[in-house]
Structure 1
Amino acid sequence: MRFGAEMRRLREAAELSQAAVAARLGCTQTQVSRLEKATRTPSRSDAERLDLLFGTAEGVSFTRLYQSITAQSGSPVWFRSWVEEIEPTLLVLRSWDPLLIPGLLQTEAYARHIFSQGPQITPEDVDERVEARMRRQHILDRKKPPMLLALVDAGVLRRRIGGPEVMREQLGHVLELAQRPAVFVQVVDPECVAGLAGAFMIAKLPNHQPDVVSSDSPTQAHITTDHDIVTSIWQRYEAIRLWAYPERVSLKMIEEARRAWT
């Protein structure tokens, strides 16, 4: 809220319109309006460009304000633009996960075990990240939720995360969510070589906006609308989907795996 208030104050003092600021930030007037109303989380690029525009006038540093904002969120810094700007507005989300149950489908116990194994992580950090992950899942509870099309490697069903009880609960949760009209889960044959490059998500947004992809690496996700990268990820998604079992068969496989966790 302070970021937005300072942005509006300095913009008006400089006699600039929202459209003029938008042109300097490389975004739309609507996005500037959302920043000023505190309904959009600023990016580091927003902060740095505002500092260049206003020259840290009157001691205001948007970069420091941005750092204060990100220090209070439970999500990793590199993921916040996706969680706070992409997921709340998307129409369709396609995902591929070769190692774990997708975050939007995870139970609290499953997510907690994953986060607790991070190097040098504190119990407080684990609590914050689990809470952030559970908040993400609220998009599936909306009156008009986005369509979720999740491809999961068959090995994920047998990968022990937190023990048999956690796995039984997790796979049962996936089966329950898969009964929703907007959630589709397919298991991919483990011989699918195209999927070995890593996890990714493809978001379809409203108003004919370009697709956005998020692809994982060991340290951060790469989020982009670059046409060549998006096209490459789409091609990989289609190549993986060719190895996916039909949904009916996939759900049967998940149920069999759930029963095997004794």
Structure 2
Amino acid sequence: MHYSNKHVSAVENGLKPPKPDFLRAVDVALDTDGLLLNLWEDLVRDSGAPVWFRDWIQVEREAVSLCWYEMAVVPGLLQTEAYARAIFASGGLLKADEIERRLGARVARQDVLTRENAPQFVAVLDESLLRRAVGGPAVMREQLFHLLDLSNALPHVRLHVVPSMAGAYAGLSGPFVLATLAGGDDVAYLDNQYRGQVVDDPSALIWLRQAWESIRGEALPYGQSAKLIMEVAEQWN
């Protein structure tokens, strides 16, 4: 399988979450015709995510479009493993095994952007998060180049940056995500310090849609945003 005994033991004992590449290798080695990977799809994939977050993961999978605004950190669907690990480890609030479980769940969620019939994904990022040293310069450099690679490789992914010169704008009230489902219904996700909240109240959705339009209006066009991300990435040495 080309995995160490230590890695296999950690998965078997629940200390490390199994990832798709690992399970594919096990299926080949044991000639189980994709059984373990199918089990992961049905049972394991979301087990590392907090229980209260799993409803939103299902919304992400069903969405035809995602509009994501962040002011503090890179959106989870766009994070590298190193960046995500640094986020989970910050503050010392989570134990090492919980960090790995949540990391596995976050990486698994990212398949939504590369699957067949992936949703249209538009992210608006505050410039400050490009300059926040999460995990150190090497991690930030890798993360920002990863953003550029994704937007170049995936035509349905578009990134925009609100420059610091914008001053006060609607996004300073906090991050959120708007998902549009196949039937045309919208669902939102609001994040906070303790736990996130899935929102489907019509009045709240109208407010968030207006906030999105206002925030999007402050952001740089796609090309200028990519140029700014590149400039900041090259400064992380």
TM-score with structure 1 setting the length: 0.71
Match of 1:47 in 2: none
Distance (Å, rounded) in 1 between the aligned partners of 2:198 and 2:149? 30
Q: Secondary structure at the match of 1:228?
A: helix
Distance (Å, rounded) in 2 between the aligned partners of 1:89 and 1:117? 31
CA deviations over 1:28-73 (Å, ceiling 9, x no partner): xxxxxxxxxx9xx9xxxxxxxxxxxxxxxxxxxxxxxxxxx99x82
Within the candidate set 248, 253, 258, 2:223 is matched to 248
Give how far 1:192 is off. 3.9
Alignment of 1:132-171 (within 5 A): 132-171=105-144
CA deviations over 1:182-232 (Å, ceiling 9, x no partner): 000000123242111111000000023x20000112111121211000001
Q: Which runs of 5+ in 2 are unaligned?
A: 1-38
Alignment of 1:70-219 (within 5 A): 73-83=47-57, 85-179=58-152, 180-190=154-164, 191-208=167-184, 210-219=185-194
Q: Secondary structure at the match of 1:91?
A: strand
Q: Which runs of 5+ in 1 are unaligned?
A: 1-37, 42-68
CA deviations over 1:100-146 (Å, ceiling 9, x no partner): 11100000000000001144311100000110000000011112211
Give how far 1:90 is off. 0.5
Distance (Å, rounded) in 1 between the aligned partners of 2:148 and 2:104? 22
Select the structure of larger CA radius of gyration. 1
Give how far 1:76 is off. 1.7
Give 2:129's aligned amino acid: V
Give 2:180's aligned amino acid: K
Match of 2:200 in 1: 225
Distance (Å, rounded) in 1 between the aligned partners of 2:114 and 2:87? 24
Number of residue-to-residue matches in the alignment = 194
The question of 1:259 aligning with 2:222 is answered: no
CA deviations over 1:1-41 (Å, ceiling 9, x no partner): xxxxxxxxxxxxxxxxxxxxxxxxxxxxxxxxxxxxx9xx9
Q: Secondary structure at the match of 1:117?
A: helix
Match of 1:52 in 2: none
Match of 1:3 in 2: none
Q: Secondary structure at the match of 2:189?
A: strand
RMSD after superposition: 1.9
Q: Secondary structure at the match of 1:178?
A: helix
Distance (Å, rounded) in 2 between the aligned partners of 1:240 and 1:87? 21
TM-score with structure 2 setting the length: 0.78
Q: Secondary structure at the match of 2:61?
A: coil
Percent of pairs identical after alignment?
39
**Which stretch shows the higher mean deviation, 187-196 or 131-140?**
187-196
Give how far 1:77 is off. 2.0
Give 2:50's aligned amino acid: P
Give 2:188's aligned amino acid: V
Give 1:77's aligned amino acid: V
Match of 1:17 in 2: none
Contact 1:192 1:243 in 2 (8 A): no
